[in-house]
Chains A and B, each alone.
Chain A
Amino acid sequence: MTERFTKAAARNIFYGGSLFFFAAFVSLTAASHIYVVNTGTDSKGLTDSVARGKHVWEKNSCINCHTLLGEGAYFAPELGNVWIRYGGDKDAEGARAALAGWMAAQPSGIEGRRQMPQFNLTEQEVNDLAAFLEWTSRINTQNWPPKISG
């Protein structure tokens, strides 16, 4: 580095630039916050059942096997669009029943296949979880994932 680029100059660029970019980032996330609430998600449809369903999702740490909108562990399928994969957008009752059946049947015990634990969810919890996954499937994800397979 040349002599003209002094330590004081480097320091000023660092502090000034960091402040500028931090302010830019905070402003953009503030704008995104408003976008998420108004456009990106269905805020009106965020019912108590969806909120409880999110809690079921968290209590059982589903994120440490599955991904949700691509984030999480990569050990089990993506669930952001599982509602669509189960046909819930056309037949909600059918998808709910399929989810309940799936949760009840775990673990499969099949040798050589990844095992999902039995979480002993109540009927209410399964319904709330379904509501949460249904709500999540309607988030505007800019058309991600590319395929229904997740």
Chain B
Amino acid sequence: MKYESQKVALPYFYGALALFGVQLLVGLLAGIVYVLPNVLSELLPFNILRMIHTNALIVWLLMGFFGAAYYLIPEEAERELHCPKLAYIQFGLFMFAALAAVVGYVFRIHEGREFLEQPTWIKVAIVVVALMFLYNISMTVLKGRRTVITNILVMGLWGIALFFLFSFYNPTNLALDKMYWWYVVHLWVEGVWELVMASILAFLMIKMTGVDREIVEKWLYAIVGLALFSGLLGTGHHYYWIGTPGYWQWIGSLFSTLEVAPFFFMVVFAVKMVLKGGRDHPNKAALLWSVGCAVTAFFGAGVWGFLHTLSWVNYYTHGTQVTAAHGHLAFFGAYVMINLAIFSYAMPHLRGVAPYHQTLNKASFWLMTGGMSVMTFALTFAGVVQVHLQRVMGMDYMTVQAEIAPFYWVRLAAGAAVFIGAVLYLYALLGPVPASRRTTGIGAAVQPAE
């Protein structure tokens, strides 16, 4: 860590991890309700559980992105953050809004569109938080060294704020509502979030592999270019069956097939940089999360996305457990893992120590990634059976759900493994640092010049 103001990343990382815990706990509860449906059915019905599960996920990922930006932008821009105090105030407001939303949900205070359930005042608070953040990082970047990483990262973060504005538009015409709803949801996760992800990954590659910046930046442009060229019109795969024109079936099928490309090249990029770099970076756990992120995102977002993206396949799979399988692995691979990677990389620097608890951190990687993979397979099989029984044979929904119940037990067990993995991760990151790692000045030593 070179700049004092990078420390503002710390509360963001802690806040993100706390909400990660909430997300997993509530996810586990929802998994229990799937197999034991009478649990909590009056106190906290499934719709509330799911609302908390998805919202906590989105908010903690954003909080992690904010923290990551605050950590890496001073280092990239080669100057202190424009206003560290503002960053702390921003964190307070964001955390307050997030907790207020969760508490409100428990008491049935929410709006009714999926993922955008935040009451209007919280949405306004999110916009204020985003503006505080964008002002702070943009000023830092403008006054400092400009790199491709900061350009792409800042562009992605501005995009996040810009597209969120569509959450305020809720037309009474359901088809229009759905069409613009995807301007937030799809253009976030299959658009601008990929810019954030790729730029964080590029930063980690420069720091940990020692590959020349020029090469990494060329790759970064190519990857984010592919992401937007495919992802923008790839939104069409959500416009097949919601009252929108039939031509989306062609556009959506073609461009969302191409959405696999940026994820494929992220794997090639990460693996190539690690092999080429030859730097023996001591933080092996962070490296594992980084490469693992590219690989799992390729499977979760790329392969599992492609599985059901062609319109003539999607006609049968749309809105089944196949969708749930893809959603889980894609979010985990692309966005959870990039956050856990940058946390693993940055925490030793922020705490001023050499990388610590590496074995435990790596164990948590395998437990979480393994758990998510099993969960994805369970839901995929459940989905395939569901598609056949319900969409081909025309059997009643609830009858089909009873048939696929065993898969939900497997999913619950896999979820428990992920939860245990997360507990290990938390200890590996936040637990006491062993005395041997507490050498002073090591912060500079593990971070050689580029």
CA gap between A5 and B397 in the complex, in Å: 53
CA gap between A28 and B214 in the complex, in Å: 36
Q: Is the CB of A36 within 8 A of B175?
A: yes
How many chain B residues touch the partner (CB < 8 A)? 74
A-B contact pairs, 10 of them (CB 8 A): A7-B217, A32-B245, A36-B175, A58-B113, A71-B242, A72-B114, A74-B324, A139-B243, A149-B397, A149-B400
Give the top 8 A-B pairs by smallest Cβ distance, nearest first.
A58-B112, A70-B319, A64-B47, A10-B221, A144-B241, A115-B41, A40-B243, A147-B394
**Chain B residues, CB < 8 A from A60:** 47, 112
Counting chain A CB atoms within 10 Å of each CB, the highest count among B111, B214, B228, B236 belongs to B228
CA gap between A62 and B111 in the complex, in Å: 11
Q: Is the CB of A61 within 8 A of B47?
A: yes
**Chain B residues, CB < 8 A from A62:** 47, 112
Q: Is the CB of B228 within 8 A of A70?
A: no
CA gap between A41 and B315 in the complex, in Å: 20
Interface segment among A13-21, A88-96, A97-105, A122-130: the answer is A13-21
Q: Is the CB of B110 within 8 A of A61?
A: yes
Chain A residues within CB distance 8 Å of chain B: 1, 5-7, 10-11, 13-14, 17-18, 21-22, 24-25, 28-29, 31-33, 35-37, 39-41, 43, 46, 50-51, 54-55, 57-65, 67-78, 107, 111-115, 117, 132, 135-136, 139-142, 144-150
**Chain A residues, CB < 8 A from B38:** 111-112, 115
Chain B residues within CB distance 8 Å of chain A: 34, 37-38, 41-42, 45-48, 50-51, 110-114, 117, 148, 172-179, 183, 214-215, 217-219, 221-222, 224-225, 228-229, 232-233, 235-236, 238-249, 251, 315-316, 318-321, 323-324, 390-398, 400-401
**Chain B residues, CB < 8 A from A11:** 148, 221
Closest A-chain residue to B382, C-beta based?
A74
Q: Is the CB of B391 within 8 A of A146?
A: yes
Q: Is the CB of A5 within 8 A of B241?
A: no
CA gap between A75 and B114 in the complex, in Å: 14
User: 15 more A-B contacts (CB under 8 A) besides A64-B48, A72-B319?
Assistant: A13-B221, A33-B179, A37-B176, A39-B245, A57-B112, A61-B51, A63-B47, A63-B113, A71-B319, A73-B50, A78-B319, A140-B243, A142-B241, A144-B241, A147-B392
CA gap between A50 and B173 in the complex, in Å: 9
Q: Which listed residue (B42, B50, B111, B238) contacts A117, Cβ 8 A?
A: B42
